[in-house]
Amino acid sequence: MRRGLYPGRFQPFHLGHLQVVKWTLQRVDELIIVIGSAQESHTLSNPFTAGERMEMIRRALEGSNIDLSLIYFVPIPDILMNSVWVYHVKSFSPKFDVIISRNPLVMRLFKEAGYEVIEPPAYDRKIYNSTFIRRLIIENNNEWEKLVPAEVSAYIHEIRGDERLRSIAGFS
């Protein structure tokens, strides 16, 4: 049984992330999705709480008919010492065998700790990138809704996350 660990901030979870999850599930038996920077919320870079991110991802996976019994969600707050971050992650998470990431720091820290790291393909990073999506939301440009799973846009509207982001940005 091979278990993967996929860390991200998922602010918000978009179609690129969903493609990574599907790609990964062809290579592992179970997947741990780490909701990183779990202490963060209500800021321009991190508008959603860890709980909100968990819920939007769960709904998106359900909407894609992904078997949720194969998925673990583990929220993990950041720490000030990168050198011990892998041990910090291990202390919050079920055991894992392989890391899925394209983040250079994450890849380096796990490789130095002796873990296998696999890099998924990049799915149109120009548009499937959360910074771009947050910018569209702030600009009140509805095009952002096409870049996330339908369940994620519905959830963000439900919690008025788009209004939250615009008000944090000083636009309402």
Ligand X SMILES: Nc1ncnc2c1ncn2[C@@H]1O[C@H](COP(=O)(O)OP(=O)(O)OP(=O)(O)O)[C@@H](O)[C@H]1O
Ligand Y SMILES: NC(=O)c1ccc[n+]([C@@H]2O[C@H](COP(=O)(O)O)[C@@H](O)[C@H]2O)c1
**Interface residues with ligand Y (CB under 6 A)?**
7-9, 36-37, 78-79, 82, 85, 103, 105-106
Token pair 């918000």 in the structure block, residue: 12
Among residues 90, 102, 135, 166, the one that binds ligand X under rule CB under 6 A: 102
Which of the listed partners (ligand X, ligand Y, none) does 128 bind, with a CB threshold of 5 to 8 Å by partner kind? ligand X
Contact status: 144 vs ligand X (CB under 6 A): no
Minimum CB distance to ligand X smaller for 107 or for 159: 107
Contact status: 17 vs ligand X (CB under 6 A): yes
Measured CA to CA, the distance from residue 159 to residue 155 in angstroms comes to: 6
Minimum CB distance to ligand Y smaller for 110 or for 155: 110
Token pair 């999705």 in the structure block, residue: 33
**Beta carbon of residue 140, minimum distance to ligand X (angstroms, whole number):** 19
Name 77's Cβ contacts closer than 8 Å, sequence gap at least 6: 37, 38, 39
CA nearest to 102, candidates 78, 128, 84, 79: 128
Output the residue with the shortest Cβ distance to ligand X.
16
The secondary structure of 148-167 as a DSSP string is: S-HHHHHHHHHTTHHHHHHH
15 beta partners: none
Among residues 4, 16, 47, 161, the one that binds ligand X under rule CB under 6 A: 16
Minimum CB distance to ligand X smaller for 1 or for 75: 75
Reduce the DSSP state of residue 9 to 3 states and report it. coil
CA nearest to 10, candidates 42, 54, 65: 54
Contact status: 90 vs ligand X (CB under 6 A): no
Contact status: 128 vs ligand X (CB under 6 A): yes
Minimum CB distance to ligand X smaller for 46 or for 151: 46
Reduce the DSSP state of residue 54 to 3 states and report it. helix
Residues that bind ligand X (CB under 6 A): 8-11, 16-17, 20, 101-103, 120, 122-123, 125, 128-131
